[in-house]
Amino acid sequence: MELTGAQIFVESLKKLKVDTLFGYPGGAVLHIYDALHFAEKDGSIRHILVRHEQGAVHMADGYARATGKPGYVLLTSGPGATNGVTGIATAYMDSIPMVIITGQVPTHLIGNDAFQEADVVGITRPCTKHNFLVKDVRDLARVMAEAQYIATSGRPGPVLVDIPKDVTAHKTAFAWPDRVDIPSYRPSTEGHLKQVKKALSLILGAKRPVLYLGGGCIWSNAAAEVTGLARRLGIPVTQTLMGLGSFPMSDPLSLDMLGMHGTYRANLAMSNCDVLVAIGARFDDRVTGKLDEFCVGAKKIHVDIDPASISKNVEVDVPIVGDARKVVQKMLDNLPPEPDLAKYRRSLAPWHAQIAEWERQHPLFYQDWTPGSPGEVIKPQWAIQEIHRKTKARSPVVTTDVGQHQMWAAQYFQFDRPFRWVTSGGLGTMGFGLPAAIGAQFARPKDLVLAIVGDASVQMCIQELIVASEHKLPIKVFIINNIYLGMVRQWQEMFYDDRYTAVHIPLQPDWVKLADAMGAAGFRVEQKSKLPGVIDEALSTTKPCLVDIRVDPKESVFPMIPAGGSIANPIVADEALKVHVKDDPNSASLS
């Protein structure tokens, strides 16, 4: 029996076990939407109609980051596809598995500047792992199988499939491939045993080792293995922004996040280590700072599934190409007996003592009061700690936008499990948090999903709140509202002599009324004493919620390493301020 290209597309989704498709229809994909009509009726595929294509891609992204499964998006040609490009680039920078299907004008019109035509394959080539233009309906099933395989294998990433409208109308027999075999694409996953033993030899000879974990540990499901390795060796662990959750931040070995807004102890440990073990991390500029001064005295081991990432930014001594989970398992299998490991752990005591001293000198802290205020000012760090305190027992999925609130969430919301932290790290996309939370809630309907966002960034995709209401998703959106583009204000304050330009946004929507207009529950809180009650009320509401938290507008994120600065010299909060904190009974600190 022959099927149309549109029907083949739908049957392919079923073969790939795709249960949720985020999208927005248009002329070039009408045949596909007609075929989806029957798939939705029989309950095999759920289509989520978004309000803007960027929101669709971010939702699919959030779905993927909360589950480890690929997200799927369907967009029409021309502006439908180009509206999704920011979302695609966001996923590409963070190595998120996703398949984006775009409609295209009929094959005979390609290159004619036809209505709603755009060269989507050309536009997305720099921001996709791979892309396809399907010109023959007989190739469609194979391409769909290959798209998912490429998106989810090796280093994950978004793959785009562009389908001209006439291809979706043509007919052929549906032939699903038994297996995917792409001769030019065969990721190396095992890791060479000789290199693994060489790495272990370096580690066991080290006096000041550090484990540096990145997002690759999340995507290879290596959390249990890297945690086991760290604990058996007794090595301190730091995580990148994208790696949070791959090692429990509550563990005594955790140094928390490193890099531009990482902890003082994490960055000093990196600068002074003698063996650095990077697993699933890519040595990006926000971690390394000034390259000439990055871990200059350390031997470097790098485990990564992408050979192009190894020695790309930092030359390493022991490269190991392979899947993080498999390589670390090999390390565990080749460790010496426990008595020798115990002796090794004892030998690291001076190193742990030094790290503890750095923590004592400059802990992660903030002044939880404002001079001259009546004590009711809400500090953003405290608000996030309070949200964490009230929700940690439910191990929520937390999404963010980009800016100060993102860094405070990374610092103060302690993540102990993978696939709970959803943020745009590489591209730094404002507007990501709300739609990503919606995607995560579709993926995890029984889990608590929180979006911690900024008052400026949330406005970029606020239209998607109505999607949450339409589907009765109980997401909780906490706006850390400082009426500024906070991170830009902080940089203008620190590096441009307080010349604030285009960062103050005092006129804002009435967030309570806006929430109500979109079918959600709205709250506003300006006094510290009332925040705990408002959080409780929002958490007990079954509707999606928008909570407007008015925080200290001039708070800054510390520690901080300026762009291009050395990680050996973080800017920390004023020492005098620290004295006040110690003296003030209402102060808070977090180690």
Residues carrying an active site annotation:
53, 115-116, 165, 487
CA angle 75/81/87 to nearest 5° reads 95
Max intra-chain CA distance, the chain: 79
Buried b (16+ CB within 10 A) or exposed e, 308-344: ebbeeebebebbbbbbbbbbbbbbeeebeeeeeeeeb
Distance, CA of 282 to chain centre? 14
- For 406, residues 6+ apart whose C-beta sits below 8 A from its C-beta are 400, 423, 452, 454
The DSSP line for 113-178 is T-TT---HHHHHGGGSSEEEE--SGGGHHHHHHHHHHHHHSSS--EEEEEEEHHHHH-EEE----S
Rounded-to-integer distance, Cα 73 and Cα 90, Å = 14
Q: Are 465 and 437 in contact (CB under 8 A)?
A: no
Rounded-to-integer distance, Cα 27 and Cα 10, Å = 18
The two three-digit tokens of residue 185, written as one number: 């694409």
The two three-digit tokens of residue 42, written as one number: 């029989």
556's enclosing H/E stretch is none
CA distances, 311 to each of 195, 301, 321 (Å)? 15, 10, 11
Rounded-to-integer distance, Cα 478 and Cα 535, Å = 9
Give the sign of the dihedral formed by CA 316, CA 321, CA 322, CA 327.
negative
Rounded-to-integer distance, Cα 540 and Cα 104, Å = 45
Question: Cis bond leading into 559, ω under 30°?
Answer: yes
At 271, the amino acid letter reads S
Helix orientation angle between 5-15 and 140-152, rounded to the nearest 10 degrees: 40
CA distances, 193 to each of 200, 279, 326, 473 (Å)? 10, 16, 11, 47
Backbone angles phi, psi at 467, to 5 degrees: -65, -40
The two three-digit tokens of residue 55, written as one number: 């929101």
Q: Are 383 and 405 in contact (CB under 8 A)?
A: no
* Residue in 428, 484, 494, 429 with CA at minimum distance from that of residue 456: 484
CA angle 64/392/418 to nearest 5° reads 30
103's enclosing H/E stretch is strand 98-104
Q: Are 432 and 52 in contact (CB under 8 A)?
A: no
